[in-house]
Structure 1
């Protein structure tokens, strides 16, 4: 049997290889990090980040741990992630910022934590301010419109 050798030929050397155990372990760790953020489980998430896991890891929809913590109402975890360098303005694949997620859900304490971390209320599509106005989150609108030093 002759092996195809022209450019673009598919043979056993170019076939996709099955993921090895290390790849599977990395994927499992990534899922565990994102699940911990979603659940507000800082005891699991923060030590892994402190050991070098990427603080701005993203899921298949572009959500970072900070985005997931914000969207699920975990203000203290948001503060801890921001303190470890998480990007407070990192939008997901739909252009939504963590601050817009907090505004959508009505989490004033999370919005406060994100603003303290430097989040911009005008970023994203729709922006956090637009979201807060649309859903009539008066307390969050006031926070977002307040002058910052």
Structure 2
């Protein structure tokens, strides 16, 4: 009986931990992330019902220190959510240069495509994040990749009137 209770407690703790890690990642709660990591280092690559990993959530929510923690613990930099988006794509949408640089410098794939064939460069170009575009280009982002509508990053920048980015991509 004692073993069954212990097993039930372990299962309940694992379930709670899996749910908590996503909240900790969103909110930048490194102390509790570290505690979960100490219990099981697999938690950093957990996936929620939308396919979000702690790294994707941290990057999207502009949690620089949390992203750094997860990168240092070897989180999967190129994990995709259910739309095929990565942490780098999310940050190129949102615009944090510091996080984009951290991900790229640690090996995030700058040319990975989501399920609409969009890349980080397409997102950064569309949303006018010039510094991120420059950094992506300096790290071999392919400006010739077409999304599923046949548009390159240049075309997206043109459609949005991002003239400085248009010049960078010509």
Tell me the TM-score range normalised by the shorter chain: 0.7 to 0.9
**2:127 corresponding residue in structure 1:** 135
Matched, 1:50 2:38: yes
Larger Rg: 1
Higher relative contact order (CA 8 A, sep 6+): 1
Q: Deviations 1:119-149 (Å, cap 9, x if unpaired)?
A: 111113221111111111111101111147x
Q: What TM-score do the two structures reach when normalised by structure 2?
A: 0.70
Give the structure-1-normalised TM-score. Answer: 0.80
Alignment RMSD: 1.6
Unaligned runs of 5+ in 2: 1-7, 141-170
2:99 equivalent among 107, 110, 125: 110
In the alignment of these two chains, the number of paired residues is 129
CA distance in 2, matches of 1:147, 1:121: 8
The structure richer in helix per residue is 2
The residue that corresponds to 2:149 in the other structure is none
- Please give the per-residue CA displacement for 1:72-111, whole angstroms capped at 9, x wherever unaligned: 0012211111111101111111100100100101111110
Q: Which runs of 4+ in 1 moved over 2 A?
A: 20-26
